[in-house]
Amino acid sequence: MNDLTRYIRDVPDFPKQGILFRDITPLLQNPAAFAGAVEALAGPYRDGRIEVVAGIESRGFIFGAALARLLNVGFVPIRKPGKLPAEKVREEYQLEYGTDAVEVHRDAARPGQRVLMVDDLLATGGTMAASCALIERIGGRVAGVAFLIELTFLKGREKLKGREIHAVIQY
C-alpha cells in the first residue's frame, strides 16, 4: 500500500461549514489499505522498545489495538470521562472554547514502562498532549506518538515538543 491517501475521503463542510473532514472510513473498509496503514504506523517501533500501546478514544482504539497486536504488546484505552470502571486518573485540557478531559486507569502502565501513544489524527495536539501527561502521571514513559494523519497547518506538533512523532500521512 504505497498511497494510503487515495483511501481518505474528503468531506467538505463537516462537522460544520468551512471544515474539510478527512474521513478514514474507506481505508478501514479496505483490508489491504487498513493492513498497510497499521504496518506503516508500526514501522519505527518494530525494534522491541515498545511495551504497551495506548489508544485514544475512539478512532485511536481502532489503530492502537491493531498496532498492539502487530507489535505483540498490550493495549491501554484512554477514554472520555465517565467510561472507565476502575480507579482512574483524569487530565483536563483547553479547547478553543472551554475544556475537555481524558481518563486512564491508574494501573494502565507500570512505572518506567515504554508506551506508544496512538490516535488517528493530529490536529491541534491538545488531546494527545493531555493523554501523554496522563501516562506520565501514572509512571509510564512515552516512547513515541503515532498518527495515521497529521494536519500540519494546525501545528499540533507544537503542543508535543520534545516527543518522537510519527505521522503516516500529512496534509
In the annotation, is 59 catalytic? yes
101-160: pLDDT as tens digits: 999 999 999 999 999 999 999 999 999 999 999 999 999 999 999 999 999 999 999 999
Catalytic residue among 9, 46, 90, 96: 96
pLDDT digits (tens, 9 = 90+) for 58-105: 999 999 999 999 999 999 999 999 999 999 999 999 887 889 999 999
Helix (H, G, I), strand (E, B) or coil at 66: helix
Q: What is the pTM of this model?
A: 0.96
Catalytic status, residue 90: no
What does CATH list as the number for 48-170?
3.40.50.2020
Catalytic, out of 59, 90, 141, 157: 59
Per-residue confidence (pLDDT) for residue 1, from 0 to 100: 56
In angstroms, the CA 171 to CA 5 distance is 10
